[in-house]
Homo-oligomer: A and B are copies of this chain.
């Protein structure tokens, strides 16, 4: 690719002019003069969110009060929002629901899945997965008398055997941006009788996902990254139709009951995906997420993916060209097909380098110990942002601009 890399800022401006997703950027309220490459950590704000939330608060809450659970359709919002997400991940509307956090949904799904494979004892996971996934799996293993087996990404298929009850993986790795072949792993796991849980935190909203096409069992994912639902937005959970009637998740709260407002003494799970709910849904968050999903209306997910890969490919090519000899190493797959929507670079002073970039209005993030992470949310990142970011990075590295006390001093980072 590097032979054909555009060589001037004007070339990147031209790519933006030809970008069929160009107008989707206008659906967001972005800070002026900044380049935001951290939509894989907290998505940007869709511009219509303030008006929607103002209505939720000033009318539906303040004046509708308790009636709004029915009259403003709050009650079915988790199902309705789940159905919208289903369209982005290749699921049927009734297979997805919005609830709680990714960690909690993963906990529910893992416990329920172990109950579907009572004769087996192993949860298979990737050692370098996002920590919460490993922590939760470890906690579930302890609680349910199972065993967590962690291996390297390339060893997943070899580690599959008939002891494995569940494979729990993140589709796109949070650090490297490397993407698993979902179809292949799901097929091979099924071949040994295991079930698969996919964490879609770093892929939902950034590319088309074909859960039903690959015969997926379960998935969870985040509402606040590429889905732009706002800070701590509720998460989602997918259960394939064939598993729903058998899913017995352990947090048996009233909103997962067949008839929550009958106030029965005994728990009977809802016949639908509703059984994955526990307590009352965090409505402000659910309604913000529901509204946020409108930015995907009429978006061609294949075009979205194409742009995402192009942004990453161009970023890598420019880095090759401009950062040679400056101590930077690529930590993401060079092949766009194997990547999610982010590119990670390693630098021994990654923390300070990122602080220097942020000081210039280019916001990516740092992941310990040495990773500079750049997320390209294709709905609002421009081609010219790629050019400007790499040029800024070159200047910072060439001039050792990162070597200042205010950049070197660590504060807590998220």
Instruction: Give the most central of A62, A279, A363: most B CB within 10 Å.
Output: A279
Minimum distance in angstroms from A6 CB to a CB of chain B: 28
State which of A189-197, A224-232, A316-324, A387-395 sits at the interface with chain B. A224-232
Q: How far is the CA of A260 from the CA of B103 in the complex (A)?
A: 13
Instruction: Give the most central of A29, A224, A267, A368: most B CB within 10 Å.
Output: A267
State which of A11-19, A40-48, A210-218, A339-347 sits at the interface with chain B. A40-48
**A75 sits at the interface (CB 8 A):** yes
Is A230's CB under 8 angstroms from B57's CB?
A: yes
Is B66's CB under 8 angstroms from A45's CB?
A: no
Is A44's CB under 8 angstroms from B62's CB?
A: yes
Is A224's CB under 8 angstroms from B280's CB?
A: yes
**A49 sits at the interface (CB 8 A):** yes
Given known contacts A75-B414, A284-B288, A139 and B252 CB-to-CB distance under 8 angstroms: yes
- Total identical chains: 2
**A257 sits at the interface (CB 8 A):** yes
Is A278's CB under 8 angstroms from B230's CB?
A: no
Instruction: Give the most central of A235, A262, A284: most B CB within 10 Å.
Output: A284
Which of B66, B111, B253 interacts with A41 by CB under 8 Å?
B66
**A251 sits at the interface (CB 8 A):** yes
State which of A127-135, A237-245, A397-405 sits at the interface with chain B. A127-135
Q: How far is the CA of A199 from the CA of B398 in the complex (A)?
A: 59
Which of B29, B66, B70, B139 interacts with A251 by CB under 8 Å?
B139
What sequence of 0s and 1s flags, for each residue 1-37 of chain A, a beta carbon within 8 Å of any chain B beta carbon?
Answer: 0000000000000000000000000000111000010
